[in-house]
Structure 1
């Protein structure tokens, strides 16, 4: 990817085009609105495991602000690094809440015996992997700001590794969701029989996981292709295969929030009928 000087302005263009201010500000507004909606849902649903998701929305909004800022000066290193780091590293924050949702859904449906791993270990393993992916991608993008060719190359390799780990983890995660879903359909629990809409939460996991996989695959190919690749040199691809997909994930999780299922099962324990 393109090299940054340590600070201030570069002596060359940091983008192969002038970033669109309109598109940048549009996604600042969309992710800000999405984050606000999730904050409003997080509190009444007591879905504290969605705090990383809200932080991911904030990161996405800040990243696209960086792109809008870059429109006025494509040699300014500050907004370039801001958008590079935050847009890249916000997806693991969104993914963390998705990972944590599965374990909570399994326990809420009283179906731990159908899980591939115990919900406790499922959450811990995937969140640790996700944190590792997040830290790796942040380190890689920071190294790209070192100002020397070796640092840029090493940073690019680290980012590619982080994206690869994220994709591998999601592949195993989706398989775990499929196995659990199938087992629960074949052998329903009392809770799943009472709460007819539980499958919506599973389809939400499939949809959001699929969106993140496509997005991460795009970024992986982009970084592997380097600054001469078509994906890096054409801005529209970023908005089609990253911004739009991640915002769609924000909308889907708001429409089918796992916290709704968890609240219903908590109410059931207190004697309030399920919906």
Structure 2
């Protein structure tokens, strides 16, 4: 966001693409509604943040479509809607990802192999995620860019993104350390064919890397500022943000954590084809 040559409000350094916004509105409608259906069917309640993040993405791209319709006479509302919601949605994805790791560790009885005490692990990572979210979304983050000093707002948002990167990086390290340790000293549950924990851990790796790439891109974007090449070229937000976050949601449709939840006796139904039936769960050595 910057001032135009005439001193007025200039939301974008380009004319937003209506076609691109509509494509991602449709894509996010599909994946978010699928996740919403799975959420209530499987009662995988710890995935509520990810589902909310999907709605943030959806409404954010509706905001971009509204801005595209307004070009070149942009108004503040759609700009703030898209910039804020698209910025903070990945933090909601992260919250669900952090909570799944603890459940995987409990599933294979691998608490002693965790780098951090499992009871503290989720709390620490989610606390970092909340901090990142607040730094990006509060009046000290995205709001300042609209109401006051843009440079101050940029710095706080960059700080929030760096917090997110640090916690995600440490999360990946914790996941790798746990996997190496339990493979070296397997538990009965970790080698059981009916406990497919590895594919869920790999889903966490994949989605974590996608969010890390997106967050690094966002840091570079805000470091360059509104006149920088990244913020002034629309294609980058669709490649390094829209597409990557869509893929995060797709991964969790293919490898849905309801399987983990159900094996722990906390869910009602699995979404994975060819998996265990609900009445088989009670016979697992958990």
The answer, yes or no, to whether TM exceeds 0.5 is yes
C-alpha separation between the residues in 2 aligned to 1:200 and 1:269?
18
Equivalent residue for 1:160?
158
Equivalent residue for 2:35?
38
After superposing the two structures, state which structure 1 stretch, 232-241 or 69-78, moved more: 69-78
* Secondary structure of residue in 2 paired with 1:19: coil
C-alpha separation between the residues in 1 aligned to 2:119 and 2:50?
20
Equivalent residue for 1:7?
none
C-alpha separation between the residues in 2 aligned to 1:272 and 1:224?
51
**Larger helix proportion of the pair:** 1
Instruction: Quote how far apart the aligned CAs of 1:261 are.
Output: 2.4
Instruction: Quote how far apart the aligned CAs of 1:226 are.
Output: 0.3
Q: Within 5 Å, which residues of 2 pair with 1:62-101?
A: 62-74=59-71, 75-101=74-100
Native 8 Å contact 2:2 2:9 kept in 1: no
Q: Which runs of 5+ in 2 are unaligned?
A: 266-277
> With structure 1 as the length reference, what TM-score do the two structures score?
0.92
After superposing the two structures, state which structure 1 stretch, 172-181 or 117-126, moved more: 117-126
* Secondary structure of residue in 1 paired with 2:10: coil
* Secondary structure of residue in 2 paired with 1:165: helix
- CA distances 1:140-179 after superposition (whole Å, capped 9, x unpaired): 1111111x4xx21111110000001000111100000000
* Secondary structure of residue in 1 paired with 2:146: coil
Native 8 Å contact 2:2 2:11 kept in 1: yes
Q: Within 5 Å, which residues of 2 pair with 1:89-238?
A: 89-139=88-138, 140-146=141-147, 148=148, 151-194=149-192, 195=194, 197-238=196-237
Native 8 Å contact 2:103 2:260 kept in 1: no
Equivalent residue for 1:21?
18
C-alpha separation between the residues in 1 aligned to 2:121 and 2:23?
36
Native 8 Å contact 2:189 2:285 kept in 1: no
C-alpha separation between the residues in 1 aligned to 2:81 and 2:43?
32
Instruction: Quote how far apart the aligned CAs of 1:118 are.
Output: 1.9
CA RMSD of aligned residues (A): 1.9
Instruction: Quote how far apart the aligned CAs of 1:120 are.
Output: 1.7
Native 8 Å contact 2:88 2:133 kept in 1: yes
C-alpha separation between the residues in 1 aligned to 2:59 and 2:117?
36
Native 8 Å contact 1:3 1:152 kept in 2: no
> With structure 2 as the length reference, what TM-score do the two structures score?
0.88
Native 8 Å contact 2:49 2:92 kept in 1: yes
C-alpha separation between the residues in 1 aligned to 2:2 and 2:104?
43
Instruction: Quote how far apart the aligned CAs of 1:111 are.
Output: 1.0
Cα 1:186–1:158 change in 2 (3 A) is same
Instruction: Quote how far apart the aligned CAs of 1:259 are.
Output: 2.1
Native 8 Å contact 1:170 1:209 kept in 2: yes
C-alpha separation between the residues in 2 aligned to 1:63 and 1:3?
22
* Secondary structure of residue in 2 paired with 1:192: coil
* Secondary structure of residue in 2 paired with 1:233: coil
Q: Which runs of 5+ in 1 are unaligned?
A: 5-9
